[in-house]
Structure 1
Amino acid sequence: MARIFVSVGSNVDRERHIALALKLLRAHFGELQLSSVYESASVGFEGDPFFNLVVAFETDAEPRRIVTALHEIERRCGRARDGNQLGPRTMDLDLLLAGDRVMRDQNIVLPREEIGSQAFVLCPLAEIAGERRHPVSGETLAAMWARLEGDAGELRKVNIHSGTEARS
């Protein structure tokens, strides 16, 4: 069994879509470890802010099967894969890490490249797996976050159940 890490993001009816995605992820993969939820600005397009978090779970499924399941969950959350990668999303699920697996093909890159450059991915990932080492660089995720944190821009930790926020 491999430890799998998936980023979860939404900027359309965020709380509802994240709750639905978590329910569907649990139904498919079982028990989930959840990071805190963070709010961040849209990247690459003008749009409403995103809520982002990272979930972790154990599975023996191959990365392609995991990605297929993630796409089905996105679809069930109302996402249309219309080729526009930069725009509003009801749900965006990305496979970040699959154990220590390293792979690159037309549909899957592991570890996902955004881990080292996007605060909305690395911050919640380091929160739940800070001592885990990046499969390529060997650096801990906590050390990677410490290096990126100063240039991370605005991230706010959000309690989506009560609407209270804490700055991060």
Structure 2
Amino acid sequence: MTLPVRRGTSGRLSERRFPGWRDPLAEFDDLFGRMGSLLESTVGGALTEGAAWAPLADFAETDDAYQIDVDVPGVKRDDISIEVTDREMVISGEFKERERGGVLRRGTRRTGRFEYRTMLPGEINAEGINATLSDGVLTVTVPKAEAARPRRIEITAGE
């Protein structure tokens, strides 16, 4: 059995500026790279195959709600799950690969399981959560609890 060999990076900028000087963390870098190569060659990348990845998302806050916009182009609403526990929200689902005729010459689209996790910064009204899917963007609106909403105090004229 042969193991992949990681080639050293000679001619680093720090070595060119200061001849004879070696970065003290370079040995750790090298060790980390070798261990990663060994793990990949023995396990074959099985640790990352079933792992979910996070889609692109925006998280915004207004006076009365939190809004999360998640990019999920081509995903059907039945393939998306939204769960809220205490203040943690998990949006998960799957990008299914399309059936194609012929040979795929190049594929850059992500497929498989995705998962977006976020902690909501304040108290929420879990009963009022609303989710819509339009034009490949999932919009989840989470209303704040009454106690978490900012209160406007009116200033009256004094004497």
> Please, what TM-score do these two structures have when normalized by structure 2?
0.20
Bigger proportion of residues as helix? 1
Larger radius of gyration: 2
> Please, what TM-score do these two structures have when normalized by structure 1?
0.20
